[in-house]
Amino acid sequence: MPVGRAGAVARPKLRSRPSGWRATYAPDQRRSWLRLLLASRVAVLALAFLIGLAALSALAPLLAPADPELVNPAVRLRGPSPEHWLGTDDLGRDVLSRLLYGGRISLLVGAAVTLVAVVLGAALGLLAGYWSWLDGPIMRVLDGIMAFPGVLLAIAIVVSLGPGLGSVIIALALVYTPVVARLIRSTTLVIKQMPYVEAARCIGLPHRVILWRYVLANSVSPLIVQATFIVAYAILAEASLSFLGASGNPEAATWGAMLRDGQRLVSRAWWLALAPGTVLFLTVFALNLVGDVLRDALDPRAHERREDAPVQ
Per-residue pLDDT of the chain (312 residues), as tens digits, is: 444 444 444 444 444 433 333 333 333 334 566 777 777 888 899 999 999 999 999 999 999 888 888 888 888 888 888 888 998 988 889 999 999 999 999 999 999 999 999 999 999 999 999 998 999 999 999 999 999 988 899 999 998 888 888 999 999 999 999 999 999 999 999 999 899 888 988 988 898 889 988 998 888 888 988 999 999 999 999 999 988 888 767 778 889 989 998 888 888 889 899 999 999 999 999 999 998 888 877 765 555 544 554 444
Query: Does residue 113 belong to any structural domain of this protein?
Result: yes
Query: Does residue 183 belong to any structural domain of this protein?
Result: yes
What distance in Å separates the CA atoms of residue 131 and residue 297, rounded to the nearest whole number? 31
Q: What angle do CA 67, 70, 76 make, to 5 degrees?
A: 120
Query: Does residue 58 belong to any structural domain of this protein?
Result: yes
Query: Does residue 310 belong to any structural domain of this protein?
Result: no
pTM score of the predicted model: 0.82
What distance in Å separates the CA atoms of residue 301 and residue 285, rounded to the nearest whole number? 25
Query: Does residue 74 belong to any structural domain of this protein?
Result: no
Q: What CATH number corresponds to the domain at position 184?
A: 1.10.3720.10
Query: Does residue 33 belong to any structural domain of this protein?
Result: no
Query: Does residue 263 belong to any structural domain of this protein?
Result: yes
Structural domain range at position 246: 46-65+99-297
Query: Does residue 86 belong to any structural domain of this protein?
Result: no
The rounded radius of gyration (Å) of the Cα atoms in the chain is 26
Half-sphere exposure of 262 (CA within 13 A, CB side): 25
**Domain count along the chain:** 1
